[in-house]
Amino acid sequence: MIIYMDYASTSPLRPEVVEAMAPFNGDNFGNASGGHRVSRYAKKALEDARDSIAESCGVESGEVFFTSGGTESDNIAVLGTLGAENKRRGEPTAVVCSAVEHPAVFETFRSVGAGRGLSVGSVAPQTRLAAVDGSGVVDLGSLEEVLDQGVVLVSVMLANNETGTIQPLSSIVDLVRRLAPDAVFHTDAVQGACYLDLASALSDVDVASISAHKLGGPKGVGAVVVRKGINVAPLFHGGGQERGLRSGTSNVAGAVGFASALSISQSVRESESTRVGLLRDRLVDEIKSSVPGVTESSDRSKVLPGHAHVRFQSVDREELVVLLDQAGVCVSAGSACSSGALEPSRVLTAMGVDKEDARGAIRFSLGHMTTAEDVERALAVIPEAVGRLRA
């Protein structure tokens, strides 16, 4: 029996989601862009899904644009916003993100700063980083230092994909509005959407990215929320779907599944946060009591309830992942987007963790199908696996 503890990477489909998607993977296969009855049925399902996602996010339906997932949503948010702003301003600009952003944001900012794709004339937008503290929370003093009226875009994630650290988004947005009043504020809400109140979290945000497969929904579908009055340029062109922002034949089944997963996640988030948080606490507390040389990477009170990011002294993370996998426990050595990387995690480095300490970092992430039995079975094998490596 497999003990799955990698929900931060992806989650199993909820049974209700499978049921909701079933009609659109069978006879109701229509292209939502068509004009006949088969297409009209698909179009209605797509728009119903959009309405549901908008309600979960506390936004208007016209502010929700479907994409292929979080990475595309992040790229549209960053590159699309800069494309529109650069065209409007016609002058060099500055952009700001935190040092712990998901690669889909961080690498896109690096690309922009290097002058690849979105320079104004021969001058690339200046990329500035806001530092974080030892728990991975954005340092408001550092953010204040990199903000000014020349900043056109700020991106700070709702919760970190590696450590699960939740950002004080309201305080961050307030600071941005005061010091960079013309800046568009984007948040990657992919990891936090399962456990946090999205309507509240996104209330002051201009652009947001979300994805289905972290919520018990299907892979390959997500959304970018763009509030009215914010200009975002399309990254590619075609049939004009999603009101011209994201051309391509609509993934109707995916959108329906996405809406179902997000609605369920938001409706049970309080009870699930309590249940999963208790399981996480049991897992971490017992690991720390039974295995010497273990450190939690972040203050647990500032972390998503499903995340447990710990560092095992004198252990190689990749070797531990392999041993645990052989014992039937599926975990991750940090972000799935950087799995197999030999260098220390960029996120941990930004948090001030030294290279040797970061070498043993493991992310356990729990979710809607995790049980107390799963936790106890994992605890039965973790100390032995760590002991073998240390021996």
H helices within the chain, ranges in order? Answer: 15-21, 37-57, 70-75, 81-89, 103-113, 140-146, 169-179, 198-201, 252-267, 269-290, 317-326, 346-350, 355-358, 372-390
φ, ψ at 312 (rounded to 5°): -95, 120
Those residues with Cβ within 8 angstroms of residue 101's Cβ, 6 or more apart along the chain or in another chain: 109, 155, 156, 157, 188
Distance CA 70, CA 86 (A): 24
- The catalytic position among 57, 97, 194, 337 is 337
| Kind of pairing between the strands at 126-130 and 207-211 | unpaired
Distance CA 186, CA 189 (A): 9
Residues 246, 234 contacting (CB under 8 angstroms): yes
φ, ψ at 33 (rounded to 5°): -90, -5
Distance CA 98, CA 104 (A): 13
DSSP code string of 331-357: -BSS-GGGTT--SPPHHHHHTT--HHH
**From the CB of residue 265, how many other CB atoms can be counted at a distance below 10 Å?**
24
Q: Which two tokens stand for residue 349?
A: 């480095």
* CA angle centred on 66, ends 60 and 72, rounded to 5°: 125
Reply yes or no on whether 337 is catalytic: yes
The label of the residue with tokens 């480095």 reads 349
Catalytic residues: 337
